[in-house]
A and B are shown apart, each in its own frame.
Chain A
């Protein structure tokens, strides 16, 4: 699971109102090399919840020097875009779980796949 995906995921346990962002408890993290496409990264940024991304990066210990707030004119800031590219697309959680911040319910991540299925009573 890449952090781009994590940024979109939310807890959907019944009754939960503050299910986003999910906390990441990773036991195995991998960093891949992915081709850098500045336009692609630049288009992704407005779709993101920036603070959730920063929090996730922290939890994984991969925050490095990612700023807490979006920089202005990021479209042309290649250095910045490279940092975003790395954290969004190159860092991958292979094993661990995602935890609902409100209910504490844990969703397992196995072989890079989060299993978000709810039980009958949670749906």
Chain B
């Protein structure tokens, strides 16, 4: 990390002009933040682009600033792309501005240009220190560096069931269980099937120390080891009440991280977990608050001396950025054999709570294993979303795909065409010689079709209320990838073939896993849009949230979209936090090459007569016998 020593001194006229322009631009941005700059020199200066919010740490910024003038105070508001500097005198501030304006700062791989302006005053509220959730205790330096090394070496990752390379490519945190296996499909433990490997012997000294210190009274019999790389996390959750006894202890090894505790009433408490520290969860912190680690590469932590409390993230003073490193946690728990009878029934599965996961929409679902689960998943992550975003969705889908139009244009005049999953009716009017009828699961979208003068009705693609063999042709464009089990996807194809008359043809389009084909990147990838809103990138072993406009790395995923319509029916519980727009997630199963053909091959009485890749989709044309 270095900084170029070039302020406005010794710059050409052109360079000064550019800098002046940029400064002016920065004033507009700052105004939106409620910061008024002034052309008259004062002791207080705002440094645009020198903020925690754009990846600049306190140390990096101080290093650049102090090369010019001595700094009296530096305030870096969290999440903001600017900082406030106060100098000893107005003269000092003037000199700093002259020297530092337009100065480049090298932060990690980014070269950042700083723009300084005077401000009238810097006021920030002194926030009170936020207390830890009830029942939470953090003990620092619980193990020595030697003990840490022994524990880390005790984990044999290669003997775990998952394929290591698959894990790495899927960007999931690594997990290993001892004693009993924790299952992620039902968030519970198989209490009748203890694992062959009990807790490793290397853990005994640590556990004995816990008992001796009075942190636990019973020896745990279950251990989950989680390894997080930078950028990985775990979604907010409450550990299943019925699975484990009250006290849960978690030893953090390797790099420090920030764990966030959330209370049902919305309070959020971030807690720094330094390496070699032990976290003890009891009471509310164990039973009521959720805990999670946001997948990030940097955390905001106090820029403190080693002796100040690590948990003191409550005040906004003196924060800096801490780059994440590899962290391994050892979470020890005792299996519970009786139902839980805690004082927190709202989050207790023994006392009737639906799920141990927080009720917020931020906990991602798992892949369904039965029809009822599939229906629920699709209701939440397909139907409700389309109904909520119908008008926005419709406005972004107005260009019919050429290959689909071509298929439609080849149909003889007077052919009866069914568009199953017609959306906003994009294809219903393409060939006016056809007798078309559309159907869609979304009432809101069908209304748009009817408003446009098309005939459409509301129905499910798994049960289309059209008579058998009544259609000359049908199309299903970007529909079947919303079904969450292979059986349902097959049933959808069966319905399409049922309504076809003999020799009738069906055209099916589904989103492809392979977005690049024949060295051609699909339009979806080509347009790189910077998405500042996207904070939610959890991964779990089942359904991950996709980052838009990038290649897919799993087949079953949730794709975020932001509702930017002014009048949105927020049917979903997604509440805007910090003024952000609600993020809706749509479930997709993206198809691999050959998968759609193979699916259609399972349907009797129909054959695939053409299959191709079109703009990031796998496509087939089926013909009924």
- Of the candidates A8, A12, A40, which one forms a contact with B463 in the assembled complex, judged by CB atoms under 8 Å apart? A12
B460 interface contact, C-beta 8 A: yes
Complex contact A113–B416 (CB within 8 A): no
Q: Compute how far the CA of A18 lies from the CA of B437 in the bound complex, rounded to whole angstroms.
A: 22
Chain B interface residue count, CB cutoff 8 Å, equals: 27
CB nearest to B435 among chain A residues = A44
- The distance from the CB of A42 to the nearest CB of chain B, in whole angstroms, is 8
Q: Which residues of A contact B462 (CB under 8 A)?
A: 123
- The distance from the CB of B444 to the nearest CB of chain A, in whole angstroms, is 11
Greatest chain B CB density within 10 A among A114, A115, A120 is at: A114
Q: Which residues of B contact A27 (CB under 8 A)?
A: none
Q: Compute how far the CA of A9 lies from the CA of B459 in the bound complex, rounded to whole angstroms.
A: 11
Using an 8 Å CB-CB cutoff, how does the interface string of A9-23 with B read, 1 for contact, 0 for none?
A: 111100000001000
Complex contact B450–A111 (CB within 8 A): yes
Complex contact A115–B458 (CB within 8 A): yes
Q: A43-B414, A47-B416, A47-B435 are in contact. Are A1 and B457 (CB under 8 A)?
A: yes
Using an 8 Å CB-CB cutoff, how does the interface string of B457-476 with A read, 1 for contact, 0 for none?
A: 11110111111001010000
Chain A interface residue count, CB cutoff 8 Å, equals: 25
A window 81-123: CB within 8 A of B: 111-118, 120, 123
Q: A9-B466, A10-B467 are in contact. Are A4 and B435 (CB under 8 A)?
A: yes
Q: How many A-B residue pairs have CB under 8 A?
A: 68
B433 interface contact, C-beta 8 A: yes
Using an 8 Å CB-CB cutoff, how does the interface string of B366-387 with A read, 1 for contact, 0 for none?
A: 0000000001000000000000
Q: Compute how far the CA of A2 lies from the CA of B450 in the bound complex, rounded to whole angstroms.
A: 11
B355 interface contact, C-beta 8 A: no
Using an 8 Å CB-CB cutoff, how does the interface string of B406-437 with A read, 1 for contact, 0 for none?
A: 00000001101000000000000000010101
Complex contact B466–A4 (CB within 8 A): no
Q: Which residues of A contact B455 (CB under 8 A)?
A: 1-2, 4-5
Q: Which residues of A contact B459 (CB under 8 A)?
A: 115-117
- The distance from the CB of A89 to the nearest CB of chain B, in whole angstroms, is 10
Q: Which residues of B contact A114 (CB under 8 A)?
A: 457-458
Q: A4-B435, A113-B456, A115-B443 are in contact. Are A20 and B467 (CB under 8 A)?
A: yes
Q: Which residues of A contact B441 (CB under 8 A)?
A: 117
B447 interface contact, C-beta 8 A: yes
Complex contact B450–A112 (CB within 8 A): yes
A window 37-53: CB within 8 A of B: 39-40, 43-44, 47
B512 interface contact, C-beta 8 A: no
B446 interface contact, C-beta 8 A: yes
Complex contact A118–B460 (CB within 8 A): yes
Using an 8 Å CB-CB cutoff, how does the interface string of A54-98 with B read, 1 for contact, 0 for none?
A: 000000000000000000000000000000000000000000000
Q: Compute how far the CA of A8 lies from the CA of B375 in the bound complex, rounded to whole angstroms.
A: 27
- Of the candidates B375, B413, B416, B464, which one forms a contact with A12 in the assembled complex, judged by CB atoms under 8 Å apart? B464
Q: Compute how far the CA of A10 lies from the CA of B456 in the bound complex, rounded to whole angstroms.
A: 14
The 3 closest A-B CB pairs, nearest first, are A43-B414, A116-B459, A114-B457
Binding site for A on B (CB under 8 A): 375, 413-414, 416, 433, 435, 437, 439, 441, 443, 446-447, 450, 455-460, 462-467, 470, 472
- A2-B455, A43-B413, A117-B441 known; 20 new pairs, CB 8 Å cut-off, are A1-B455, A1-B457, A4-B435, A5-B437, A8-B437, A10-B467, A20-B467, A39-B413, A40-B413, A43-B414, A44-B414, A47-B435, A113-B447, A113-B450, A115-B443, A115-B457, A115-B459, A116-B457, A117-B459, A123-B463
Q: 20 A–B contact pairs at CB < 8 A?
A: A5-B437, A5-B457, A8-B416, A9-B457, A10-B466, A11-B465, A12-B465, A39-B413, A40-B413, A40-B433, A43-B435, A47-B435, A47-B472, A113-B450, A114-B458, A115-B457, A117-B458, A117-B460, A123-B462, A123-B463
